[in-house]
Chain A
Amino acid sequence: MTTVIEVPEAEPGIVAPRSKSKAGGGLGKYIVIRFFLIIPTVFILVTLVFFLMRVIGDPITAAQGGRLPPDVLAQRIHDAGYDRPVLIQYFEYLGQLITGNFGTTITDRRPVVEVLTTFGAATLELSINALIVALAVGIPFGLIAAQHRDKSSDAVLRFFAILCYATPVFFSGLLLKLTFSVWLGWFPVAGRASTRTELSMSSLGAPSGIYWLDALRSGNFAALGDVASHAVLPAVALGLLTAGVFLRLVRTNVIGTLGKDYIEAGRSRGVSEFRLVTKHAYKPALIPIITVMGLQIALMLGGAILTETTFEWKGLGYQLVQYLNARDFVAVQGIVVLLAIIVAVTNFIVDIIAALIDPRVRY
């Protein structure tokens, strides 16, 4: 008796590595090059943000420009060191960054690292929730659209995908809020949790900042329910943004796979269409999604800024807007550096995955 192992056919153009040793050598060099590309990427962004923030003005003027005589204002700007040559400030800032010192925010006097850790957890939580929504909506709908190719249900789903991607997240967020919070009253208007839950979180010994995790850890299921109800609308608003991309990608790839010989062979053997789609066609179709998922991180973070502001979700995006309005250089630079690192590292990981899947992308 022989055992037949079914290997799903690879995507067009994807060739399995022939020799481990060859691949390993190329991959090692490739990883090193990609890793070192992170540094200039982050550096360029830090530089851009630094100089752009100097263009939009200083925090002292932003806060007190309407109250102080010009000479007093100038003195205060001088005392704070904002009137020194910009290049000197820039190199000082770079020096601090290299030593891991992100500085202290100007407008609310907190260490930037504290801001990043406190609010980063909230953004991470929102991103995870949104990703769940994106996958839960994008993949099944993509499969359905592929199976009903060129039928009305396919057209509707394709239109839905475009709508998801094209609708600004603040607009869809407001629409969701208006419908489900204001009119129907199903979900809270804003925030990450009710005041009572927030206070119970504060009393935890060392909260992670990811509310559902903290609620689970403390066994507080009432808090978990409260946190979940607050999480739905922001997660849907942000998740739908990416869901549209996933939907179209799954559809395209599944359609491509459904035309393959081994699928035709399956059909001729009487395997049901549903089984063909869900068991055989979708697996190879999901490979590009992994790559795209990484690339969507930047979109997700951009969307998070608007989503967090719309829903009072106090994460990094929310804080970034607050600090931008106050012209708080230090805080904005710190947050942008972190976001840049996240995007760069994510892309780095995606590049490695892509290189593992398809050796041709290696240099």
Chain B
Amino acid sequence: MALKKKALHGVIALAGVSALALTACTGPSGGGSSSAPAAAGPIAYGTTDKVTSLDPAGSYDNGSFMVMNQIYSFLLNSKPGGAEPVPDLAESSSFTAPSEYTVKLKSGLKWANGHTLDSKDVKFSFDRQVAINDPAGPASLLTNIASVSTPDATTVVFKLKNANDQTFSQILSSPAAPIVDDEVFPADKVLPDDEIIKAKAFYGQYTIDSYKKNELVSFKAFGDYKGVLGKPANDEATIKYYASPTNLKLDIQQGNIDVAFRSLSATDVDDLRKDSKVKVLTGPGGEIRYITFNFDTMPFGTKAAGADTAKALAVRQAVANLVDRQAIADQVYKGTYLPLYSNVPSGFLGANESFKDAYGDNGKPSLDKAKKVLADAGITEPVALNLQYNPDHYGGSSGDEYAMIKEQLEKSGLFKVNLQSTEWVTYSKASRADEYPVFQFGWFPDFSDADNYLTPFFPEGGFLKNHYNNPTVNDLIAKQLTEADKTKREADIKDVQNALAKDISTLPLLQGAQVAVAGSTVNGVDKTLDASFKFRLGTVSK
């Protein structure tokens, strides 16, 4: 009997050995609980963003632009630490007439494949963006370009439809403006990634050495690069793509990657702050979150029951007086978002805190003020507010954020909030089809200029289609857009914000911070977390 048992135990052992055979002679290679950063070798960057296309005409998303920033150059770009566009491929640039913007190129530029980089490539790059006008591309940013001409190999002249466009230098460093090789890219269609790589059509700090789309990209420094970013602080870098923020977090903690950027959850960031093996770095963020009021369908709106413009304004003002932004930023977002008190977030020219001045109690909610505005407008009963949010597009914490807003409003006794959520595709359409009276939205800028938080939103209801239209505000927005004097423009932008705070077309809530996590021995990440919102691998070293 004992023998039988032994034999059976032998079978168990054999099974165990079979199951563990997979692990034979292995240890955590580059994994496990090693706490050292990914030692020698390339800078390893991890992200949950995804690449759509490496062709600038075929994509308009953070994941694609991140890679483009390493392998292409712009006429103008910003140096690490700032967002002010300065010459990159250009030697100089300026308005040479109200509707004419002239760029002089550096001479002797060569693509990584040996082709000449000159004004022909520049004209070609902009013309093809407009010609292709890809549904997923950024061609819409170039609507102010009437034509591009090339008097000689190093001169490019842009004719503009609207004179004195003060955002044009930003447009030239935006996702619509990477310069591509006219001998490689087709003029009328998007080029597949593999062909771009095969043709070595790169002119940036790096060239792509190997490419597995949305899995792993490896870069090598490009020795002939003469742009504004200079020689990178490392010779090689990689980007590893993740589906799960949790896996991204675990890999940075275990030293499998050197930098984790976009997008860790607020809870993960909070957890990583307590980990001595990594450092959490923050920079100004351009992302904003806000509540939109539909002026037709909101309580007392122009097409709602009991339509009354004054009462509708009082409702918006009461909400503005009651919302506690700081509590949401601290409790829901653990400091990864900051309170936002204006339509233009801090860090941009002219940004002020118009809502802080006009509502609440110096940034804190004020029940007394809320009661007063409603009473003054003759509203005596609690206001029924249908508040919509989206749970799957603006991050997983939206539910908590809006539950907190509901609680803040209802606690006052002045509102009865009916909170509802809808999945994104339906939500994004219904919100602009008058189906939601009050709803959540968010925004990430196309380029680093205050106007990008104004022009798309407010003139004649903007892209929000919320029926807000104030001719005074429209004029102010148009004025700041063409004001060449920086001081005057700053004052104009402040005026716009003050006017917007009076009307409350949208109620600014939060401003996102850029959050990157780096290994303790990794340096230079902080240099690139600036208001340009461009991550440059070239600043990172270890």
Chain A interface (Cβ within 8 Å of chain B)? 56-58, 60-70, 72-73, 76-77, 79-80, 106-110, 129, 132-133, 136-137, 139-141, 143-144, 147, 177, 181-182, 184-191, 194-199, 202-203, 221-222, 225-226, 228-232, 235-236, 272-274, 278, 309-312, 314, 318, 321-322, 327
Question: Which residues 14-34 of B sit at the A interface, judged by CB distance below 8 A?
Answer: 14-15, 18-19, 22-34
Bound-complex Cα distance A199 to B210 (A): 8
The reply to whether A61 and B11 form a contact with Cβ atoms under 8 Å apart is no
Q: A108-B51, A137-B15 are in contact. Are A188 and B135 (CB under 8 A)?
A: no
Interface CB pairs A-B, < 8 A, 5: A62-B424, A185-B34, A189-B256, A228-B25, A274-B3
Bound-complex Cα distance A188 to B133 (A): 43
Q: A61-B429, A136-B15 are in contact. Are A229 and B29 (CB under 8 A)?
A: yes
Bound-complex Cα distance A136 to B23 (A): 14
Interface string of B226-258 (1 = CB under 8 A from A): 000000000000101011100100110010110
Residues on A with beta carbons closer than 8 Å to the beta carbon of B380? none
Pick from B18, B140, B441: contact of A66, CB under 8 Å: B441
A68 to B, closest residue via Cβ: B463
A192 to B, closest residue via Cβ: B215
The reply to whether B31 and A188 form a contact with Cβ atoms under 8 Å apart is yes
The reply to whether A318 and B15 form a contact with Cβ atoms under 8 Å apart is no
Pick from B31, B133, B428: contact of A229, CB under 8 Å: B31
The reply to whether A235 and B22 form a contact with Cβ atoms under 8 Å apart is yes
The reply to whether A230 and B15 form a contact with Cβ atoms under 8 Å apart is no
Residues on A with beta carbons closer than 8 Å to the beta carbon of B254? 181, 185, 188-189
Bound-complex Cα distance A57 to B425 (A): 6
B53 in the interface (beta carbon within 8 A): yes
Bound-complex Cα distance A270 to B216 (A): 62
The reply to whether B28 and A229 form a contact with Cβ atoms under 8 Å apart is yes
Pick from B31, B214, B216, B257: contact of A181, CB under 8 Å: B31
The reply to whether A144 and B136 form a contact with Cβ atoms under 8 Å apart is no
The reply to whether B18 and A136 form a contact with Cβ atoms under 8 Å apart is yes
For B25, B190, B425, which residue has the most chain A Cβ atoms within 10 angstroms? Answer: B425
Bound-complex Cα distance A231 to B24 (A): 11
The reply to whether B8 and A61 form a contact with Cβ atoms under 8 Å apart is no
Q: A60-B136, A322-B243 are in contact. Are A189 and B29 (CB under 8 A)?
A: no
Count residues of B near A (Cβ-Cβ below 8 Å).
76
The reply to whether A222 and B432 form a contact with Cβ atoms under 8 Å apart is no
B507 in the interface (beta carbon within 8 A): no
Q: A56-B425, A65-B424, A199-B210 are in contact. Are A129 and B22 (CB under 8 A)?
A: yes
Nearest-neighbour CB distance to chain A for B42, whole angstroms, equals 8
| Other A-B pairs beyond A228-B23, A322-B50, 11, CB < 8 Å | A61-B425, A108-B214, A109-B52, A181-B250, A181-B254, A182-B33, A195-B42, A198-B215, A199-B210, A221-B25, A229-B29
B393 in the interface (beta carbon within 8 A): yes
Nearest-neighbour CB distance to chain A for B173, whole angstroms, equals 19
Nearest-neighbour CB distance to chain B for A278, whole angstroms, equals 7
Pick from B15, B24, B247, B427: contact of A312, CB under 8 Å: B247
The reply to whether B31 and A230 form a contact with Cβ atoms under 8 Å apart is yes
Pick from A66, A147, A187, A222: contact of B442, CB under 8 Å: A66
Bound-complex Cα distance A195 to B242 (A): 13
Q: A312-B243, A312-B244 are in contact. Are A197 and B428 (CB under 8 A)?
A: no
Residues on B with beta carbons closer than 8 Å to the beta carbon of A191? 240, 247
The reply to whether A309 and B244 form a contact with Cβ atoms under 8 Å apart is yes
Q: A65-B429, A79-B135, A132-B22 are in contact. Are A185 and B11 (CB under 8 A)?
A: no
Nearest-neighbour CB distance to chain B for A19, whole angstroms, equals 40
A177 to B, closest residue via Cβ: B250
Residues on B with beta carbons closer than 8 Å to the beta carbon of A197? 29-30
Nearest-neighbour CB distance to chain B for A318, whole angstroms, equals 6
B433 in the interface (beta carbon within 8 A): yes
Pick from B11, B242, B429, B462: contact of A140, CB under 8 Å: B11
Bound-complex Cα distance A274 to B60 (A): 66
Residues on B with beta carbons closer than 8 Å to the beta carbon of A136? 15, 18-19
The reply to whether B210 and A203 form a contact with Cβ atoms under 8 Å apart is yes
Closest 3 CB pairs of A and B: A185-B33, A57-B425, A188-B31
Residues on B with beta carbons closer than 8 Å to the beta carbon of A72? 140, 463
The reply to whether B463 and A69 form a contact with Cβ atoms under 8 Å apart is yes
Bound-complex Cα distance A34 to B133 (A): 49
For A79, A136, A203, which residue has the most chain B Cβ atoms within 10 angstroms? Answer: A136
B44 in the interface (beta carbon within 8 A): yes
Pick from A62, A140, A228, A311: contact of B15, CB under 8 Å: A140
Residues on A with beta carbons closer than 8 Å to the beta carbon of B27? 225, 229
The reply to whether A69 and B462 form a contact with Cβ atoms under 8 Å apart is yes
Residues on A with beta carbons closer than 8 Å to the beta carbon of B424? 57, 61-62, 65
Bound-complex Cα distance A196 to B51 (A): 21
Pick from B53, B61, B190, B243: contact of A63, CB under 8 Å: B61
Bound-complex Cα distance A139 to B213 (A): 40
Bound-complex Cα distance A230 to B251 (A): 13
Interface string of B30-48 (1 = CB under 8 A from A): 1111100010011010000
Residues on A with beta carbons closer than 8 Å to the beta carbon of B11? 140, 143-144, 278
Nearest-neighbour CB distance to chain A for B432, whole angstroms, equals 5
Q: A147-B8, A314-B215 are in contact. Are A195 and B140 (CB under 8 A)?
A: no
Q: A61-B428, A144-B8 are in contact. Are A226 and B243 (CB under 8 A)?
A: no
Residues on A with beta carbons closer than 8 Å to the beta carbon of B213? 108, 110
B508 in the interface (beta carbon within 8 A): no
B274 in the interface (beta carbon within 8 A): no
B58 in the interface (beta carbon within 8 A): yes
The reply to whether B29 and A226 form a contact with Cβ atoms under 8 Å apart is yes
B372 in the interface (beta carbon within 8 A): no
Bound-complex Cα distance A69 to B431 (A): 11
The reply to whether B30 and A194 form a contact with Cβ atoms under 8 Å apart is yes
The reply to whether A274 and B8 form a contact with Cβ atoms under 8 Å apart is yes
The reply to whether A195 and B38 form a contact with Cβ atoms under 8 Å apart is yes
Q: A132-B22, A189-B250, A194-B30 are in contact. Are A199 and B216 (CB under 8 A)?
A: yes
